[in-house]
Amino acid sequence: MKMKFLITLVGLSIFQCVLGNAIPNSEGAEYGDKVQGDLVVTNEQFNEMYNPSMRSGRTGLLSTNYRWPKNSAGQVEVPYTFRSSSGFTTSQQNVIISGMQEIEKYTCVRFIKRTNQVDYVEIISDSGCWSYLGRRGGQQTLSLQRNVNGYGCVWKGTAIHEFIHALGYTHMQNHIDRDKYVKVYLENVSSSQRHNFEKVTSSSHGNFNTEYDIESIMHYGSTAFSSNGKYVMLPYDSSKLSVMGQRERLSSGDIARIKNMYQC
């Protein structure tokens, strides 16, 4: 795959919780300075996601160019390695691996330790939690900032969230049908952070035969990027408030989207 220019949103006033871009596990979101907070995308992907001339925006990449290949048994293989200089302890590595295992438990995806594979994910501890969108080609990094005093990104649910980005999915709250299910209060978000709630309007993304999913591990929480501590998103079904933004488990919709995207 050809090298592509990367889009990151710079010069922004970032809403930070205690340690830069890192956030407490209970917040259930990844509030960073990337696209939608925690995505690194190519110029092509960015244009496809937000070009207003396109329609039918969804959350999963339709292009097979960004998908990970299958092995002879029909399983999707994602090679990975930990960057030694990031200093992950064995315990921290095990937490991250448990996130991979949760995806493996319910889908055909298999995370394998890299040997000599050309395309692979290198897990690092950079500033915040973030990932490339889909398979980039060659080495691609995925950041899970090591925890300090309980704050950071090394949580099972956060690892699941970032690895699903690496498989090719964006965030649920950027779905074109969001406003049918969630009320967004942009007045509670600073102007420099409102881009994180722009709906994807691209024919390059698909639902893969699933509905809008408030319980998705890819949905942000009710106070994501709040500038004043007030609600930013509230579900019209109030019974869903407690699970919106959860980072505990894959929803049934998350499982279906991965399986349907990779046809296995």
> Any idea which residues carry the catalytic annotation?
162
Q: Left (φ > 0), alpha (ψ -120 to 50) or beta: where does 164 sit?
A: alpha
Tell me whether strands 39-42 and 129-132 are parallel, antiparallel or unpaired: parallel
Chain centroid offset of residue 16 CA: 18
Tell me the C-alpha distance between 47 and 65, whole Å.
16
Contact indicator for 131, 72 with CB cutoff of 8 Å: no
Contact indicator for 239, 97 with CB cutoff of 8 Å: no
Could you tell me which of 154, 170, 82, 168 has the C-alpha nearest to residue 123?
Answer: 82
Instruction: Scan for tokens 């594979």, then name that residue.
Output: 117
Q: Is 195 annotated as a binding residue?
A: no
Residue 204 gets which letter from DSSP? Answer: T
Q: Is 205 annotated as a binding residue?
A: no
Contact indicator for 112, 79 with CB cutoff of 8 Å: yes
Q: Which helix (H) or strand (E) holds 256?
A: helix 252-262
Q: Is 165 annotated as a binding residue?
A: yes
| Cβ neighbours, 10 Å, residue 148 | 10
Q: Where are the alpha helices (DSSP H) in the chain?
A: 43-50, 90-106, 156-167, 252-262
Q: Residues at the annotated binding site for Zn(2+)?
A: 161, 165, 171
